[in-house]
Amino acid sequence: MGIVFSIAFHLIVREPVQHDDVSTAENAISDGFSTTIEKSTVLRTRMTWKCWLKTKQFYQIAVVYMSTRLFVNVSQIYLPLYVTETLDLPKDSVAIFPLVVYVSGFVASIAMRLVNSRLGRKATYALGLALGMGACAWIYFLNHDNAKQVYGAVILLGLGGSTMLVTSLAMTSDLIACNVESGAFVYGAMSFTDKLSNGVAVVLIQHLHPCVACCPSCKDYYRQVLTFVPGGVAVVAFIALLSLLPYKIGLRPNTGNALKTAVDGIKADNSCPADETSPLLEEHRPQSATIQT
């Protein structure tokens, strides 16, 4: 199935034709770089993997992406166990509720373009956090008597998880901006933090499991896992998001220094008295009124 759709993607989806590398890079620059000076300076600023490791936003976005993947993956892993062991729902719930999560996540992903354009990346991610944390709180208060409410909780879980995931990927793209020459390293590093953190989290959750086989303690354990693990990483993601609020994603300190140097250079060029137009502009200088005989 994967091979079929990969072939269909390459055959059907057409890439826009770019006439040169400069136009490709210019299209990758975010809207914040509005002036010609800013665009040309950013185009000249190349980033290697060592440069990324010295960039503060690289680690901030990594925490946001890692927390997002932890939220989504842990909730997907332990949701079937929660609905069958904690809520005592029928075995077909193992298929039904993950499907509800995926469908609600699909609906959220369709709306992401409009929501991002209206609210912006950070506000959209905060909205996803609110939905996800609301789902975690709802899950904690569910029991056998009100088990049917789990439909509402998993819908919020799908909406929040998809919103956070799509927006965190968009933030990663904004971080790379026009530095596509090292974009593979950035995405690879984000994926590495994702896989490492998820592996460690699942190992710890299983290590803290109260029993080897099913027992009465398992009921509360899966409730706590599905509440406090995704909810906890959502808090971590929120703190990382707060640290990003004062800054524009993708605007790096070396770019700002380069812009200042470029602007200062242009100002110096404009004030230089050696160019051809300076005698015409300097009307108040005494020598400009002197008539040579």
> What's the fold here for domain 59-244?
Growth Hormone; Chain: A; (1.20.1250)
Summary mean pLDDT of the chain: 81
Would you give the end-to-end CA distance of the chain in angstroms?
91
DSSP state of 131: H
pLDDT tens string 161-179: 999 999 999 999 999 988 8
Closest CA to 188 of 174, 165, 172: 172
Closest CA to 113 of 159, 166, 34: 166
Euclidean distance between CA atoms 48 and 55, whole angstroms: 11
Give every CB contact of residue 161 below 8 A, 6+ residues apart in sequence.
68, 71, 72, 75, 101, 105, 128, 132
Where do the domains of the chain lie? 59-244
pLDDT tens string 22-76: 454 445 444 444 555 555 554 547 888 889 999 999 999 999 999 999 999 999 9
Q: Token pair of 167, please?
A: 């927006």
Contact yes or no for 269/278 (Cβ under 8 A) = no
Q: Is the pTM of this model over 0.85?
A: no
